[in-house]
Structure 1
Amino acid sequence: MDELQHECGIAALYDLGTDIRSQVWNGDPDEIARLMPRMLLDLQNRGQLAAGMSGYNPGRGKLLDTYKELGPVSEAFRMARPEKHASIIENHGGRAVIGHVRYATCGQDNREYAQPFERKHSQKWKWFAFAFNGQLANFAKLQDELLENNPDYHIVRKDNDTEVILHYLGREMQNLGNDDPVQIFRNLSEKFDGAYNIVFLNAQGEMVVSRDPLGIRPLCYAFDGRLFAAASESVPLLNLGFSSSDIHSLEPGHLILIRDGKFAIHKYAESKRTAHCFFEWIYFANVGSTLDDRSVYLSRSALGKELAEQERQMNLFPIDEADTIVVPVPDTGKAAADAMAFELGIPSREGLIRNRYVGRTFIEGGNRADKVRLKFTPLREVLEGKKVLLVEDSIVRSTTLKTLLNYIKDVGGAKEIHVRVACPPIISPCFYGIDMSTVKELYAPSRMAGMVPTLAEQRAMATELGADSLLYLPVEAVARCLDKSPEQLCRACLTREYPTPVGEQLYQLSLRSKNEDGRTYEAGVPITSAR
């Protein structure tokens, strides 16, 4: 569905140029940048608004150079125009590159907000570019501090957390007075609240890949002989040729530093707990990825098994193999739907075909019904006369679900539609990188008296949406399916228990301003401490 927008994705590549023969990369170091658009294509599920990269090349006058453009990766990097694409790589590449795909959770939809951000300086170690994935929950406070403490030095133009990070990186370099990336990131960890995975590259050819102390967003890396690579997910690394045994998740509060051609991992911040975002497994990540030692596919399959067990226990309608089918809402619902169908002994069918070739801008035009028709095609040959168990990964705003259900009945000819949600109700906003920051935009809270929906409440929601029945998974199923303990996960949008102090304060602010427009984390909030 188009209800929950994707986050950003980051990537990094470095040809260390050692004498050790690599099984993955043996090419010209200056050609390493050709691999970056390929990695970003594998991260396209995390953002289609803009893409870019920064490259370090000691053989050119402009040691560090950045290219970024609006649009999906193929458009941003002009991949349909080989000569133009080659020119981009040649002019902006090098032996070390960082890259980014963007979806805007903060800031406007224009090229200025595309990443990486670059800060030029006459000293090489202070000339840097960086990109990040996440959201600083306290960025409004950090921004105010910049302007209050250094009104003549800092100019804040973009009103987003990426620019705030840019200024704080520069300020720490100025205050520290020496080139110590580990200390710089240690100091920043004492100020930042939220999710902030960062890839950093300076004009000395030094690279930093860091993961925030809670590990809210995933970050993977691999190293084979002379090639180092990192990405928000494991799939881009697998598709470069790294074996699964060579791919690891970077531990929260740790960073990778590449300096003078040497690779090292440093702990830069204490991690009292982890708070891995459960949505990464059930929605955001590529189904082929493995995050923090847990397969996305196996997690979604486990959710489907839970749905099947719940179906048996609730027994809301008679299931007959002759006239009942399971249909996923593509694409993220498929693994759960297949597992559910297998456990129930009924067919799983692709009754909805997703149009993967409709551009984002084209879909944004027209009314809601037009968007649904552009995005999905119901197959009457599959749906007609059937009782359909429609498996959805989550319901956040429900803005298109009702239209889709009508579409399935009117065009597909389904006899009944029973919605099964492979996720508990979303009842609280997210302030760590998912674009749902206000209470009023969420579907479930106003329709539930408590934290857990009753059967009567789910029945009322089904009627409102136009379904014959509706069932959510219980909260406790999430940790079980992800093979994690609840204490390892961020489930704030399900439980209202936020892993950081500012997250909790922003939630209280969102309750007070639930009838106002605008993202909560863009409003001022009185905060005395970031940690």
Structure 2
Amino acid sequence: MSDFLKHECGIALIRLRKPISYYIEKYGTPLWGLNKLFLLMEKQHNRGQDGIGIGCCKLDMPLGQPYIFRRRDARKDSLATVFNKEIKTFNKLARKQMLDPSSAGSVKNVFDFGGEVLMGHLRYGTSGRFDEGSCHPYLRRSNWPTRTLLVQGNFNMTNAGALNQKLIERGQHPVFGTDTQTVLEELGFHLDEAHTDLYRELRDKGVDGQEIPSMISENLDLLQIISESAKSWDGGYAICGAVGNGDTFVMRDPRGIRPCHYYIDDEVIAFASERVPLMTVFESNKEQVKEMEPGNVTIIGHNGEIRTERFHPEVQKAPCSFERIYFSRGNDPSIYRERKAMGAALVDQVVDAMNNDFDKAVFSFIPNTAETAYYGLMDGLRMYRRQQVRAELVEAIENGTLDVEMLDKVILRNWPKSEKVAHKDIKMRTFISQEKGRAQLVSHVYDITYDLVKPEDTLVMLDDSIVRGTTLKQSILKILSRTNPKKIVVCSTAPQIRYPDCYGIDMSELGKFIAFQAAVALHEREGNNELLKEIYEACKEELRKPAEERINQVKRVYECFTDDQISAEVSRMVYPEDVDWDGEVQIIFQTIDNLHASIKGPCGDWYFTGDFPTPGGIATVNAAYINWFEGKSGRSYDLPLV
């Protein structure tokens, strides 16, 4: 993706199914679970680099002994820093004979992360603070293990403001006002309620006080607690947590917007945001790693019992298509195939853009995430060319004109030329973001291979998505123009991004989207400013309605124009300035139909179509337009009703 986006976080959870002594005997280390947690997080490092956190809950600890722990860090290289520190602590304790690595009891009693429940979180922050305190997991402490709660997740709640207001109306005092706190406190509230009811019932029956904790632990209904907590949540989420007694849960939002996968064998049950890390870390095949069903929660009791239940009625699924296009690691077998299919789906548009002149076209991609789709595009172009050659050969045979010259002309020429044209300088930093010369420096993030492209060539570059267009205009097209082609065609495997996301991706400001800017520019050129104001008033009116009655008024911005008209305007807007080049620029976007044909199964496409899967999404898009019209920046969640 040429326009950098922060997006979904990554989660990992390990629940050991055997005593610690088992892993010491079989694998020679009591840290088998911790090592697996590190690997799961390292394999998902693409999902979060703003900070990390890890947590541990120990089972069956004697009363009065510590049983729950966490570490968080928001510094550079935090993942390696945190795990290295814990391993050094373990080795130091062993070296000083304060801990016996061969004794499970010693490890559990002395080492903080020598427990059976281990969880980790990789954060890509889209809002709030960006320090250690904003990193998951969040911990809600109590002197009752069955009221202590450790929670982390990959989520964004569109109604965070309303959820915080709900806490206030109960008499609580939320400090941060973030959706993370609302999730923790909502779960904590219902956990407290259930705990208090059980305690009073047992106390009134005359049960001995020392027996009450274990009886509460046996009777705590985690499914009921989760179901009650999630009733008011509007958003995309994959959330996992642990109660202090060891009861553990992992839940996925009803529409499956955020991803979650799991692996189970007789030694471990493990969860992660992506499939491939589980396959790699546990040396399993894709059939052994399952996708968690949306609207379900898996609960692993402190006694090891595993059950999966539905906490929300079944609704239409809408998994985030950007996971397939860009975010998830491309070595997942299904994602790899789908990304290739997205590239191949662009063939007809590409052929038209280069006037079917393969002899005067050079194909490449903009590093690095578009590489897989590029292979698909090249496969598709070669297949297209084969069909052309076959048709010409058949015609030549039928006409009796087939000869050596014909073979040279048809077969040996006009085949798609694949080259490495653009190179990204990964050492280029944004430390100069506040300096006046930033634009000039940013223009040198990319470099080119010289003398590959001829002045009569069309240079076709594949990108996986075009969001804001700023990197194209200020950097990529400027440097590509130095190859001096007749024309530059930039192809996006994603359709035009027209609407904000409110379920995890950091793209909530409507006015920053190049497709929206293009539509507005077309309206202004045609004198339709009054329509833009009408839409503004309509958006305000929508926010006065009950949530279930609202519609997306922002769709009206695009109704007057075809996709091609908006693409043409985008092409004009991103044309590089101050360059010694007079060639043509054309931007091509994937069609919605081809996107759905490429992705197998349900496909959440609200940022392309405006068809948001939850009421919170519709409120957000209308609020985003209001913010844009009024010249306000920032996220559009929970704009006060007007």
TM-score norm. by structure 1 comes to: 0.88
| 2:78 matched residue in structure 1 | 75
Q: Is 2:588 aligned against 1:471? A: yes
| 1:529 matched residue in structure 2 | none
1:184 Cα shift? Answer: 1.2
- State how far apart, in whole Å, the 2-side matches of 1:383 and 1:363 are: 32
| 2:498 matched residue in structure 1 | 427
Q: Secondary structure at the match of 1:380?
A: coil
- State how far apart, in whole Å, the 1-side matches of 2:461 and 2:187 are: 47
1:65 Cα shift? Answer: 0.5
| 2:488 matched residue in structure 1 | 417
| 2:185 matched residue in structure 1 | 167
Q: Secondary structure at the match of 2:346?
A: helix
Q: Deviations over 1:60-109 (max 9, x none)?
A: 9321101111146x434317x95665338954452221111111122121
1:463 Cα shift? Answer: 2.4
1:310 Cα shift? Answer: 2.6
Q: Secondary structure at the match of 1:183?
A: helix
CA contact (8 A) 2:623 2:637 kept: no
Tell me how large the CA RMSD over aligned residues is: 2.7
- State how far apart, in whole Å, the 1-side matches of 2:158 and 2:146 are: 28
- Relative to its length, the structure with more strand (as a share) is 1
- State how far apart, in whole Å, the 2-side matches of 1:245 and 1:75 are: 33
| 2:570 matched residue in structure 1 | 461
| Structure 1 residues 17-36: aligned runs within 5 Å | 17=18, 26=27, 28-36=29-37
CA contact (8 A) 1:394 1:422 kept: yes
Q: Secondary structure at the match of 1:311?
A: helix
**2:621 aligned residue (507, 510, 515):** 507
CA contact (8 A) 2:162 2:638 kept: no
Q: Secondary structure at the match of 1:388?
A: strand
| Structure 1 residues 240-255: aligned runs within 5 Å | 240=281, 241-255=283-297
CA contact (8 A) 1:364 1:371 kept: no
Q: For the pair shown, which has the larger CA radius of gyration, 1 or 2?
A: 2
Aligned residue pair count: 508
Q: Is 2:56 aligned against 1:55? A: yes
- State how far apart, in whole Å, the 2-side matches of 1:82 and 1:10 are: 19
Identity rate of aligned residues, in percent?
A: 23
| Structure 1 residues 31-110: aligned runs within 5 Å | 31-58=32-59, 61-71=65-75, 74-78=77-81, 82=84, 85-87=87-89, 90-110=111-131
Q: Is 2:450 aligned against 1:450? A: no
CA contact (8 A) 2:325 2:339 kept: yes
CA contact (8 A) 1:509 1:525 kept: no
**2:367 aligned residue (330, 335, 343):** 330
Letter in 2 for 1:329: I
CA contact (8 A) 1:54 1:129 kept: yes
**1:342 aligned residue (363, 379, 401):** 379
| 2:5 matched residue in structure 1 | 4
Higher mean C-alpha displacement, 159-168 vs 347-356: 347-356
1:328 Cα shift? Answer: 1.5
TM-score norm. by structure 2 comes to: 0.74
Q: Is 2:519 aligned against 1:518? A: no
CA change 1:439–1:82 in 2 (3 A) is closer
1:399 Cα shift? Answer: 2.0
Higher mean C-alpha displacement, 274-283 vs 404-413: 404-413
| Structure 1 residues 175-254: aligned runs within 5 Å | 175-177=193-195, 178=198, 179-240=220-281, 241-254=283-296
1:288 Cα shift? Answer: 1.5
Letter in 1 for 2:316: R
CA change 1:351–1:165 in 2 (3 A) is same
- State how far apart, in whole Å, the 2-side matches of 1:225 and 1:91 are: 25
Q: Secondary structure at the match of 1:12?
A: strand
1:135 Cα shift? Answer: 0.7
Q: Is 2:469 aligned against 1:398? A: yes
Higher mean C-alpha displacement, 154-163 vs 445-454: 445-454
CA change 1:238–1:321 in 2 (3 A) is same
Q: Secondary structure at the match of 1:340?
A: helix
CA change 1:169–1:258 in 2 (3 A) is same
CA contact (8 A) 1:220 1:234 kept: yes
| 2:421 matched residue in structure 1 | 351
CA change 1:356–1:53 in 2 (3 A) is farther
Q: Deviations over 1:337-363 (max 9, x none)?
A: 12112221313333223345667x658
Q: Secondary structure at the match of 2:264?
A: strand
Structure 2, unpaired ranges of 5+: 92-110, 199-219, 383-415, 520-556, 576-583
CA contact (8 A) 1:131 1:198 kept: yes
- Relative to its length, the structure with more helix (as a share) is 2
- State how far apart, in whole Å, the 1-side matches of 2:170 and 2:19 are: 45
Structure 1, unpaired ranges of 5+: 527-531
- State how far apart, in whole Å, the 2-side matches of 1:173 and 1:493 are: 36
| Structure 1 residues 311-330: aligned runs within 5 Å | 311-312=350-351, 315-330=352-367
